[in-house]
Amino acid sequence: MSERLILVTNDDGIQSEGIDLLATVASRFGRVVVIAPDRNRSAISSALSLHSPIRMNEVGVDRYSSDGTPVDCVNLGFYHKLERKPDWVLSGVNYGWNLGEDVFYSGTVAAAIEGCLLGARAAAFSLTTRGNLENTKPFLATFLEQWEKMPLPPQTIWNVNFPQQVPLGVRLTGQDNRAYHDVVEQRKDPRGKPYYWIGGESAPTYSRQEGCDADAVLDQWISVTPLKLDLSHPEVVTRRDEFKRIFG
C-alpha cells in the first residue's frame, strides 16, 4: 500500500500556528502537503474564485500559499499539485470555534466539506481564540490514529472543537444553535460618511442543548460532530401527498 497522502489547509492563513501544529501531528500518519491561503480568509464559507486568476507560491517543502480561498486551495491540491487524490483532507486548527450555525460561514469547515465532496476522508478542527494550542496535540494524535476505525456515511465530515482549558475528555455531539449580537454596526469615516462593519464585538450566545457541540466545549469537553452534507429535510420530503394536494 502506498504512503497515506494528506492535504492540510485552513482559513486563518499559511502563517497560522494552528496549521503548523496540525501539519506536524498529521505527518506521523503519512506525507503531508500544506496548501493554504496567503492571508486570513475567515468566514468565507465555500467561496470559489471563479472570476479571477489564482496564484500559488511554494514557501517550503510540500508547503504552498495561495491568494485563493480555502476551497480554492483544496481544489488546487486535488487537480494540480498532488499526484493523486489525497486520502485525508484536514482543515485547521482554526482560531475561533465553529459551533452551531457557524459551520455554514466557516472557511475552515468549508475546506473539509470540499475535500469530502471530492472523495477524501475529511475533518475540521477549531479552538477558541483564548485557548492554548498545545492542549489540542494529544487528542489530534489520538483522533487521527483512530478515526478510520469509525466509518462515516457518504458525504459526512467530522467537525471538532476544543475547549478553552485542558479538555476533560471527548464527546460525540450534535449541532447547537447560536445567536450573534450587534451583527451589523454603522460607523463614520473621518469625513463623516457612514460605513458598515459586519460582526460586532459581543460574543454569541448558544442555546446549549444537551448533547450538542456548544454545551460540550463550554463544559470543557472536546466536541466531535458528524456533519452531513445533504441538507434536504427527510421528514418534509416524505409528505409528498400533502405537497401534491397544495401545489398540484
Q: Give the chain's mean pLDDT.
A: 94
- Could you tell me whether strands 31-37 and 63-66 are parallel, antiparallel, or unpaired per DSSP bridges? parallel
Q: How confident is the model at residue 80 (pLDDT cuts 50, 70, 90)?
A: very high
Domains and CATH numbers, the chain: 5-177+207-247 (3.40.1210.10)
- For residue 153, the model assigns a pLDDT of 93
Mean pLDDT computed over 34-42: 96
- For residue 230, the model assigns a pLDDT of 92
Mean pLDDT computed over 187-208: 85
Distance CA 247, CA 243 (A): 6
Q: For 94-98, 142-146, 205-209, which range has the lowest pLDDT when averaged over its residues? A: 205-209
| Alpha helix ranges (H) inside the chain | 17-26, 70-76, 107-117, 137-146, 213-218, 234-237, 240-247
pTM: 0.93
Mean pLDDT computed over 93-118: 96
> Residue written as cell 482543515?
91
Better pLDDT: 197 or 13? 13
| Alpha helix ranges (H) inside 129-233 | 137-146, 213-218
Mean pLDDT computed over 115-140: 95
User: Is-contact 98 214, C-beta < 8 A?
Assistant: no
Whether the CA torsion 36, 37, 39, 45 is positive or negative: it is negative
